[in-house]
Amino acid sequence: MDPRSALPSIDKLLRQAEARDLIAHHGRENVVDMLRRLLQARRAAAQGAAPGPEGVLAECAERLAARARPSLRPVLNLTGTVNHTNLGRALLSHRAAEAAFQAMTNATNLEYDLDRGGRGDRDSHVEELICCLTGAEAATVVNNNAAAVLLMLNTLALGREVVVSRGELVEIGGAFRVPDVMARAGCRLHEVGTTNRTHLRDFANAVNADTAAFMKVHASNYAIEGFTAEVPQADLAALARRHGIPLLIDLGSGSLLDLDAFGLPPEPTARQAIRDGADAVTFSGDKLLGGPQCGIIAGRRALVDQMRANPLKRALRVDKIILAALTATLQAHGDPDRARSEIPTLRLLTRPQGEIRALARRLCPPVRAALSGLADVAVVDCLSQIGSGARPVDLLPSAGLAFAETGAVSVACLAQAFRDLPLPVIGRIHKGRFLLDLRCLEDEAAFLDQLGQLDWGPDRRADRKATAPRRRPESGPLR
């Protein structure tokens, strides 16, 4: 007999008590849809004995439970990359998260002027703060820095040329390239100089009747060393003024504070760019600034007003949640000491190696016990990195736990077991060892409380073929 004819009908399945329980929990439409999918798959396979109602409903319950679980989950970032692009970049401060929550759960004066009792401008909630921190005349906010560059170029250089040093035509995450963004903005790229050396005369010789702007792109995600030369911002700004064209600067990660004062590798700031004569500066809100994902444009009022009037601005604008979190983050930057303690990105980047090493020593014994001799665990010094394209060659002294194979469990299986925890723990594999860099671990209890749930079943043994781990795009070296 054809096994397909023995499959239970939808009506029969829905009359079962188990189905009524599923409907109460997931809704009738979801249950019927899942049952229909399962039966169709069984009919298409047409192999083996047909399952009874109990088997179909059990599989339905499992599939519906998996569908109901959120795909976006919290994880513990122990990769050693503080602002890890794949893991969500910057963590919001408690103050910023609370501001976002209040905006999410209440009506707000997003575009309502409480003094005049009429329509307002959503940029008004952050513009003054941005101007105070950068020295700019005006500012606006869009959904990320690539959008900020797109809006700026489309507004100021549509159909015309923008002169850029060849050594600054960067590619950012996800294979997005500055030349491609410029093309989509509707302007034409005019490259000058060479990969490693560009001079002021290169910009001067490139000026023609079709030149709309000079643009400088901060090399935040790579470094060119050796026989190099680049044009200082102030010199380029002076040349731009002589020709009556704007100087546009894309800072990328866009720190608002002097990181050198915190003992970190220095990054150019928007304030310095404005002081040097930049007419418009773009930077991210979710990298070194430590806030929500957004792109900030600061500069001369006349230019910023033109960008606000561009129809693209509405397509790229941010919502009340982003503005609330950004406001709280910017307020903290008004006091560098407060910013360093309150904003997670700055706090983690400036965390002393001695403190991290002490944490590693506390965690090593319980971790070693949880592995029950399946792997050698040792406290090691290692190197962290900032991440999100910021200062890739500058590494931060850190400490962590390194796991070496003993023959019982492979390194790949170790990494998978930690990823399979209820609160996934994401580390990195380096030089044949699995490493947990503890720079970003602040919730020690959350890490320890789930060690007993590490799965060391037979499918994780070294004599079984291990699935190779996915390549992690951002990784700092283990010393």
**Shared domain check, 244 and 130:** yes
Arithmetic mean of pLDDT, 229-249: 95
Q: Determine the pLDDT at residue 163.
A: 96
Rounded Cα gap, residues 213 and 306, in angstroms: 15
**Shared domain check, 331 and 196:** yes
Q: Determine the pLDDT at residue 479.
A: 36
**Confidence class of residue 387 from pLDDT cuts 50, 70 and 90?**
confident
- When divided into structural domains, the chain yields a total of 3
Q: Determine the pLDDT at residue 455.
A: 84
**Shared domain check, 357 and 304:** no
Residue keyed to tokens 């408690």 = 94
Residue at a domain's end among 307, 342, 377: 342
**Shared domain check, 53 and 168:** no
- Is 60 contained in some domain? yes
The fraction of the chain above a pLDDT of 90, given in percent, is 71
Domain with 263 in it: what CATH number?
3.40.640.10
**Confidence class of residue 36 from pLDDT cuts 50, 70 and 90?**
very high
**Shared domain check, 402 and 300:** no
- Is 474 contained in some domain? no
Q: Which domain holds residue 17?
A: 3-68
Q: Determine the pLDDT at residue 222.
A: 62
Does the structure show a pLDDT above 90 at 51? no
Q: Determine the pLDDT at residue 180.
A: 86
Q: Determine the pLDDT at residue 463.
A: 39
Residue at a domain's end among 288, 314, 342: 342
Does the structure show a pLDDT above 70 at 133? yes
Q: Determine the pLDDT at residue 263.
A: 85
Arithmetic mean of pLDDT, 451-478: 52
Domain with 363 in it: what CATH number?
3.90.1150.180
**Shared domain check, 331 and 431:** no
**Shared domain check, 156 and 304:** yes
Taking all residues of the chain, what is their mean pLDDT, rounded to a whole number? 89
Q: Of the candidates 215, 86, 99, 90, which has an alpha carbon nearest to the alpha carbon of residue 160?
A: 215
Q: Determine the pLDDT at residue 132.
A: 97
**Confidence class of residue 35 from pLDDT cuts 50, 70 and 90?**
very high
pLDDT in tens, 273-321: 999 999 999 999 999 999 999 999 999 999 999 999 999 999 999 999 9
- Is 466 contained in some domain? no
**Confidence class of residue 147 from pLDDT cuts 50, 70 and 90?**
very high
Q: Of the candidates 264, 262, 253, 179, which has an alpha carbon nearest to the alpha carbon of residue 215?
A: 179
Out of 37-46, 101-110, 422-431, 456-465, least confident range: 456-465
In three-state form (DSSP H/G/I as H, E/B as E, the rest C), the secondary structure along the chain is CCHHHHCCCHHHHHCCHHHHHHHHHHCHHHHHHHHHHHHHHHHHHCCCCCCCHHHHHHHHHHHHHHHHCCCCCCCEECCCECCCHHHCCCCCCHHHHHHHHHHHHCCCCCCEECCCCEECCHHHHCHHHHHHHHCCCEEEEECCHHHHHHHHHHHHHCCCEEEEEHHHCCEEHHHEEHHHHHHHCCCEEEEECCCCECCHHHHHHHCCCCEEEEEEECCCCCCCCCCCECCCHHHHHHHHHHCCCCEEEEEECCECCCHHHHCCCCCCEHHHHHHCCCCEEEEECCCCCCCCCCEEEEECHHHHHHHHHCHHHHHHECCHHHHHHHHHHHHHHCCHHHHHHHCHHHHHHCCCHHHHHHHHHHHHHHHHHHHCCCEEEEEEEEEEEEECCEEEEEEEEEEEEEEEECCCECHHHHHHHHHCCCCCEECEEECCEEEEEHHHCCCHHHHHHCHHHCCCCHHHECCCCCCCCCCCCCCCCCC
Arithmetic mean of pLDDT, 459-476: 41
pLDDT in tens, 206-236: 999 999 999 999 876 666 667 778 889 999 9
**Shared domain check, 253 and 138:** yes
Rounded Cα gap, residues 381 and 288, in angstroms: 24
Q: Which two tokens stand for residue 89?
A: 């970049």
Does the structure show a pLDDT above 70 at 478? no
Q: Determine the pLDDT at residue 457.
A: 63
Q: Determine the pLDDT at residue 170.
A: 74
Q: Determine the pLDDT at residue 49.
A: 59
Q: Which two tokens stand for residue 173?
A: 């995450």
Arithmetic mean of pLDDT, 24-44: 91
**Shared domain check, 251 and 116:** yes
**Shared domain check, 316 and 270:** yes
More confident residue, 226 or 450: 450
**Shared domain check, 265 and 161:** yes
Arithmetic mean of pLDDT, 446-457: 89
Rounded Cα gap, residues 435 and 402, in angstroms: 4
**Confidence class of residue 406 from pLDDT cuts 50, 70 and 90?**
confident
Q: Determine the pLDDT at residue 474.
A: 41
Cβ atoms 150, 312 nearer than 8 A: yes
Does the structure show a pLDDT above 80 at 5? no
**Confidence class of residue 177 from pLDDT cuts 50, 70 and 90?**
confident
